[in-house]
Amino acid sequence: MNPDAERKRWEEEVLEPLISKYPERQKEFLTTSQIPLPRVGIPVPINYMEQLGFPGEYPFTRGVQPTMYRGRLWTMRQYAGYASAEESNQRYRYLLQQGQTGLSVAFDLATQIGYDADDPMSMGEVGKVGVSISSLRDMELLFDEIPLDKVSTSMTINAPASILLAMYIAVARRQGVDEKWLRGTIQNDVLKEYVARGTYIFPPVPSMRLITDVFKYCEESVPRWNTISISGYHIREAGSTAVQEVAFTLSDAIAYAQAAIDSGLKVDNFASQLSFFFAAQNNFLEEVAKFRAARRLWAQIMRNRFNAKDPKSWMLRFHTQTGGSTLTAQQPENNVVRVAIQAMAAVMGGTQSLHTNSMDEALWLPTEKSVRVALRTQQIIGLESGVADTIDPLAGSYVIEHLTDEICNRAMEYIKRIDDMGGALVAIEKGYMQSEIQESAYRYQRSIEEKQQAVVGVNVFQVDEKMELEALRVDPTIEENQRARLKILREQRDNQRANELLGQLETTARSNENLMPLFITCVENALTLGEICGVLRQVWGEYQPPVWI
């Protein structure tokens, strides 16, 4: 029997007469990437196993581990950090006591762009959207009584990522921990900063140099560390579609891999330390398919384009965060449901670690209670829902496989277009990625305003309500205390040695020598983040985004 002919017969004879009774459901249903959804599942071709493979085997569509969550659950890594290092340390220890299995550090804006807490540029921002870290002393307080050989730590830091990693390594040494046992990730993805987020410091060429310096240092000295987390999350949060998220993230990854190879590294020596970071949003089926498509495409790119031989080099391992931009200030308790759906999509898509947003994040810094509910969401999915009890439970679903193929094909069209331009750096300089994201964001916002896309509590089912949730706010004295701490640090350190190191740093920045060992020496001698970045700013300058007309 011909499956296509049988499906057509069923649609004409059975489906059409029934569905005509519901004119309001006659519209064409599209995913966020404008992929039409078939009204009924399309039969899977007989040769599909050749394309799907098995979990833990090329092309890894079904997951990077043969056992997936039957072996162990994903790492539950709640993103947190605010105010002072001491307060953030208390939150981390609280989360670990509640069953969190990995740490994820949020830094304040001043830290993200390389300024100390006492710099005039930092005024009013210290501790506001993350923890303030200016010196090794701050980093020691952040991880006080947290043994770094026992936890996996992710740090969402980009332009100054190498310096924050140097501080982390220095803390480990002071704890007596050999850096070869450190596990975790630095985001270290500056290309997406130029595209979607904006916390860049240096121009692209020296920024790429810092990234490859980290690759080289960690290959030799911190082999269990993920040297970069190539981030589609912020691209998606800026308004991209799911297809664009995959395409632009993998294009950035291609640029990083090529830069590492051009610097003299062999692909199989660094590729297994690359990791990725994606968003999970509300369109459940598309999100599941997106993760599967990204794995398949990266495996093909690493094996066919870069000639990687080690299967570990082909694996796309990724962290997921539920979509912050999908949270609503209106009826914030509805966000618990949104986050649960998104988290389930990440799990069904095979994530290696997961952060679930808190229901009140659209209003203020999340309270302990809302953070606990977010963590419990992951624990309930892992321990009560049953979806972790089988490997790749949606494999073979007609719609999932159809969407996976469509996302692969559409993402590859973008990647080829970017290749034809000269790669991700050129595409960014031309404003191509930025323009595509802006257009998608505009189209989505119009769909909400015109009520083509329903957002419960915002444009449908609204209610008048008074906010009664307890807000967590940053104490304004945090900034004063950070300034005072830095004053004491500069008075008590060996300033002759500090000045010698600043001079050495300038010389090394003008050379091709790896900067990571010197960064570690600098922070161990009480040089601050802002002082180190200040020297690099003098040598390399600051990135100025082009003006597009």
Which run of H or of E encompasses 19? helix 16-19
In a domain, 501, yes or no: no
Mean pLDDT is lowest, of 98-102, 123-127, 216-220, 409-413, for 98-102
pLDDT on residue 16 = 77
Q: Say how far residue 475 (Cα) sits from the centre of its chain.
A: 28
311 vs 475 pLDDT, higher one: 311
Please state the rounded mean pLDDT for residues 449-460. Answer: 95
Q: What is the mean pLDDT of residues 189-215?
A: 96
Question: What is the CB neighbour count within 10 angstroms for residue 500?
Answer: 12
Distance in angstroms (rounded) separating the CA atoms of residues 134 and 136: 7
Res. 248 pLDDT band, cuts 50 70 90: very high
Residue closest to 164 by CA, chosen among 150, 145, 184: 184
Contact between residue 288 and residue 259 where contact means Cβ atoms under 8 Å apart: no
Residue range 14-24, pLDDT digits in tens: 777 877 776 66
* Whether residue 420 has pLDDT greater than 70: yes
Question: What is the model's pLDDT at position 548?
Answer: 59
Alpha helices in 78-121 (DSSP H): 85-97, 109-112
Query: 212 lies in a domain?
Result: yes
The burial class, CB within 10 Å (0-12 / 13-18 / 19+), for 131 is: buried
β-bridge partners, 105 = 80, 155
Structure tokens at 177: 């921990």
Residue reference for tokens 């992710």 = 154
Residue 81 within any structural domain of the chain: yes
Output 39 or 251, whichever has higher pLDDT.
Answer: 251
Whether 343 is covered by a domain: the verdict is: yes
Q: Is residue 156 part of a domain?
A: yes
DSSP 3-state of 298: helix
**How do residues 261-279 score in pLDDT, each as one tens digit?**
999 999 999 999 999 999 9
Condensed to tens digits (0 to 9), the pLDDT of residues 119-159 reads 999 999 999 889 999 999 999 999 999 999 999 999 999 99
pLDDT at residue 81, rounded to an integer = 86
The span from the CA of 145 to the CA of 93, in Å, is 9
Q: Please, which pLDDT band fits residue 178 given cuts at 50, 70 and 90? A: very high
Of 51-65, 80-94, 306-320, 464-478, the range with the highest mean pLDDT is 306-320
**Average pLDDT value for residue range 521-541:** 98
Residue 495 pLDDT class (50, 70, 90 cuts): very high
Q: What percent of the chain has pLDDT over 70?
A: 95
CATH number at residue 190: 3.20.20.240
pTM equals 0.93
pLDDT of residue 45: 58
Q: Cβ contacts of residue 313 below 8 Å, gap of 6+?
A: 267, 268, 271, 272, 302, 306
Task: Please check whether residue 508 lies inside any domain of the structure.
Answer: no
Residue 37: inside a domain, yes or no?
no
**pLDDT at position 44 over 90:** no
Looking at the structure of the chain, the number of domains it has is: 1
**What is the rounded distance in angstroms from the CA atom of residue 237 to the CA atom of residue 245?**
9
Q: Which amino acid is at 67?
A: T
Query: Would the pLDDT of 41 be above 90?
Result: no
- Regarding predicted confidence, which is higher, 480 or 549? 480
Q: Tell me: the pLDDT tens digits for 290-324?
A: 999 999 999 999 999 999 999 999 999 999 999 99
**367-395 pLDDT, tens digit each:** 889 999 999 999 999 999 999 999 999 98
What is the predicted pLDDT for the residue at 465? Answer: 82
Give dist(CA 172, CA 169) in Å, integer: 5
pLDDT value of residue 266: 97
Q: Tell me which of 360-374, 375-389, 399-413, 432-446 is least confident.
A: 360-374
User: Which pLDDT score, from 0 to 100, does residue 17 have?
Assistant: 80
Asked if 166 and 221 touch (Cβ cutoff 8 Å), the reply is no
The answer as to whether 545 is a domain residue is no
Note down the domain range covering 418.
48-61+75-449
| Arithmetic mean of pLDDT, 524-532 | 98
Count CA atoms within 13 Å of residue 246 on its CB side. 31
What's the mean pLDDT in 503-509?
A: 98
Mean pLDDT to the nearest integer, 450-463: 94
Phi and psi angles of residue 105, each rounded to the nearest 5 degrees, phi first: -100, 125
Q: What's the pLDDT score for residue 464?
A: 87
Residue 30 has phi, psi (to 5 degrees) of: -120, 150
pLDDT at 26 over 80: no
Q: What backbone phi and psi angles, to 5 degrees, belong to 437?
A: -65, -45
